[in-house]
Structure 1
């Protein structure tokens, strides 16, 4: 199975609005579209996104760029401060999905999936796209095939 994890694009600065309501900047939208190009031709079954506005905007831009017909799936388990282990509990054996979320969750989740612990998080810039591969989305059971930043 493959799993893609995308951090949202650049958003308005903190303090402009409450964190869940921060929106993408024009630069952030451009970043997302560049990252979406890395998903062209991939066998995505679903796109899961945090309910935060910037993640929703990111997921919708990807969906439109790919011509992905299924609706986005909005989930509370992709918000910034969720424990990475909770994400794995929700994924089960679903394969070939895209997760759209935030740091610190994105970096910690990538570290957990690769190394089996949280001591080596990945550094992921805005609109960074990670591709992982493995039998199941379990701690330490996936291999990072690539991490691209726009």
Structure 2
């Protein structure tokens, strides 16, 4: 399994609710730059948080790649979701290559858990940062961090 973890692009500072914050123009450019690095990768699924900025990020990726599958929106990828539950849910996709689009602090904690088996070693993830991980199964401490790409 290859797992890519993408933090949403730069978003507005304010909205009526955190879940409603939209990407800025700079955020869209960041996402397109990160998405371009996925060209030619055997991506099977794009799974995203229901928050607006993550949805907008997730929708830009297929446009950039010519990916025809629909984005799957799940409630377990919000900023405060439990990384352990995320890994459990990703087990359903273990035979495929998956892009997860979500938020900090979740994405950094998820990478730390997947690679080190600990929530104490979170990976720093800027807006539109893209991490690539690999393993047979998405298990705590069993995944290898191949690389992290930060925009800019």
What TM-score does the superposition give when structure 2 sets the normalisation length?
0.96
Deviations 1:105-144 (A, max 9, x none): 0000000000001110000000000000111110000010
Task: Give how far 1:94 is off.
Answer: 4.0
Unpaired segments of 5 or more residues in structure 2?
none
In the other structure, the counterpart of 1:79 is 78
Structure 1 distance, partners of 2:106, 2:66, is 27
Residue 70 of structure 1 is matched in structure 2 by 69
RMSD: 0.8
2-side partners of 1:104 and 1:94: how far apart?
A: 26
Cα offsets for 1:49-93 (capped at 9, x unmatched) = 000000000000001100100100000010100000010111112
Structure 2 CA distance for aligned equivalents of residues 50 and 81 of structure 1 = 11
Residue 17 (structure 1) shift? 2.7
Following the alignment from structure 2 to structure 1, what is the Cα–Cα distance between the partners of residues 15 and 81? Answer: 23
Aligned partner of 1:145 in structure 2 is 146
Partner residue of 2:26? 27
Question: What does the per-residue CA deviation read over 1:6-49, in whole Å, with 9 as the maximum and x for residues that have no partner?
Answer: 00000000x33310000000000000000001100000111000
**What is the aligned residue count?**
149
Cα gap change, 1:19 to 1:75, in 2 (>3 Å): same
Structure 1 residues without counterparts, runs of 5 or longer? none
> Is 1:98 equivalent to 2:117 in the alignment?
no
Q: Does structure 1 residue 112 correspond to structure 2 residue 113?
A: yes
Q: Which residue of 1 aligns with 2:127?
A: 126
**1:9 alignment partner in structure 2:** 9
- Following TM superposition, the consecutive aligned residue runs of length 4 or more in structure 1 with deviations greater than 3 angstroms are none
Give me the whole-angstrom Cα distance separating, in 2, the residues matched to 1:64 and 1:127: 16
State yes or no: 1:42 paired with 2:33: no
